[in-house]
Each structure stands twice: as structure tokens, then as C-alpha cells.
């Protein structure tokens, strides 16, 4: 299935999230952003704002949203380990039920198989992760 836009997201319910929008037509990143939030609600609302703007500008485009899944390992010490899974659930509802776009989750290990973006845009760590999930999807 051919998508005009692929949106990669490295989500955080509380903390830093990265989003990258890739145009399949131009084979280029057309948007990248990193933002920091203090609550799950704030994170969900920011993603919703981004999605509404994207929907306005790309109303008739076929869009896929790829979200990095979340796993808690024994080495992680998080003050709110449920925040990211909560925002991932919110993203699934926003993408599938509100925006009517296709939704896919990508495992964290998938990004390790992809090299960092080496183009003319400077990406943050979270944007790099979002970009890598897009590239993993395109290669597989």
C-alpha cells in the first residue's frame, strides 16, 4: 500500500517526544519537531493539535502513522512507567478513530537496524528514532 505521507513518532507520555513527517512523493522529511510535556493529557493534546494541522494541509492524502512501542526493562527507573503506554493508546484512538489514518506500532529494536539520518536537517535523538521507524517500514 502506497502512502503519500508517513508520520513517525517517538512518544513520551511525560517527557520528550519526537515527530517526523516523511513525504513518499519527494522522499524527504517535510517536518520534524521535538516537544517536552509534563502530563499525559498535555502530550495527547499536542499530538492532536499536530494531527489536526496535518489533516488540514493534507486532507486527501493517504497517511500512515508509525508509533514506537514501549517496553519497560528491569534497568529502567521511571517515576511514571504508565505515562508512555497511556499516550500510545491515545495516539491509536486519535489516528484510527479521529483522523481515519492507518496506524502501526514499531518495536524499539527495529530502529537499531537503521543508520541515523545524514541529510541537511539536524534531528534530535527523538526525531532520529521517529525517522528510523519510518525507514524500517519503507525497507520492510
Q: Provide the grid cell at 102.
A: 492507518
The pLDDT of residue 79: 56
Per-residue pLDDT of the chain (140 residues; tens, 9 = 90+): 699 999 999 999 899 999 999 999 999 999 999 999 999 999 999 999 999 999 999 999 999 999 999 765 656 555 566 888 999 999 999 999 999 999 999 999 999 989 999 889 999 999 999 999 999 999 99
The pLDDT of residue 63: 98
What's the whole-model pTM score? Answer: 0.92
The answer to whether the Cα torsion of 52, 57, 62, 65 is positive or negative is: negative
**Rounded to whole angstroms, how far apart are CA atoms 129 and 117?**
10
| CB contact burial 99-119 (16+ within 10 A = b; e otherwise) | bebebeebeeebbeebeebee
The pLDDT of residue 82: 83
The pLDDT of residue 41: 95
The pLDDT of residue 13: 86
Amino acid at each position: 500500500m502506497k502512502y503519500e505521507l508517513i508520520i513517525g513518532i517517538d512518544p513520551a507520555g511525560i517527557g520528550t517526544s519526537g515527530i517526523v513527517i516523511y513525504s513518499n512523493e519527494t522522499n524527504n522529511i517535510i517536518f520534524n519537531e521535538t516537544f517536552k510535556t509534563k502530563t499525559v493529557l498535555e502530550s495527547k493534546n499536542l499530538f492532536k493539535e499536530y494531527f489536526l494541522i496535518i489533516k488540514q494541509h493534507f486532507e486527501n492524502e493517504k497517511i500512515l502513522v508509525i508509533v514506537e512501542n514501549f517496553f519497560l526493562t528491569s534497568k529502567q527507573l521511571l517515576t511514571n512507567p504508565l505515562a508512555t503506554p497511556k499516550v500510545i493508546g491515545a495516539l491509536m484512538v486519535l489516528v484510527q478513530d479521529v483522523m481515519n489514518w492507518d496506524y502501526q506500532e514499531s518495536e524499539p529494536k527495529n530502529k537499531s537496524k537503521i543508520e541515523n539520518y545524514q541529510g541537511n536537517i539536524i534531528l534530535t535523538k527523538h526525531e532520529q528514532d521517529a525517522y528510523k521507524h519510518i525507514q524500517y517500514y519503507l525497507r520492510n
